[in-house]
Structure 1
Amino acid sequence: MHAARLTLAAPLHCADARVSSMRFLRDPDGEHSHGVVVVEVLVSGLGKHATRAAGA
């Protein structure tokens, strides 16, 4: 995702994105670990569909 555009299905558009947090987690077995990256995205392009979904 570094220096790349986030492409969404039409009619959606990624207006902005940011990494809000990162965590490194080690599993209890001590052999494995993984990372969690939280990305917040501002999406535009829903138009009338957003109003209908909110009113449902």
Structure 2
Amino acid sequence: MHGYTTESVVPTTELILTRQHPDDRRQLAQTLHTIRTEVDRSAAVTASSTPLVQPAR
């Protein structure tokens, strides 16, 4: 991704942001934050509303 090989770098948000145009970084950072927040919220709702063990039928 972005010219790196899998073995040469650990992908991080910071790395991705450094590869973006400076004018686009803030918006991308906000978008990534929103996505992470929504995924975390969805996971919490799913975890709290889905039983881990289903009743036997």
Verify same fold: TM over 0.5.
no
- Structure with bigger strand share is 1
Query: TM-score by structure 1 length?
Result: 0.25
* Bigger CA radius of gyration: 2
RCO greater where, 1 or 2, for CA within 8 Å and sep 6 or more?
1
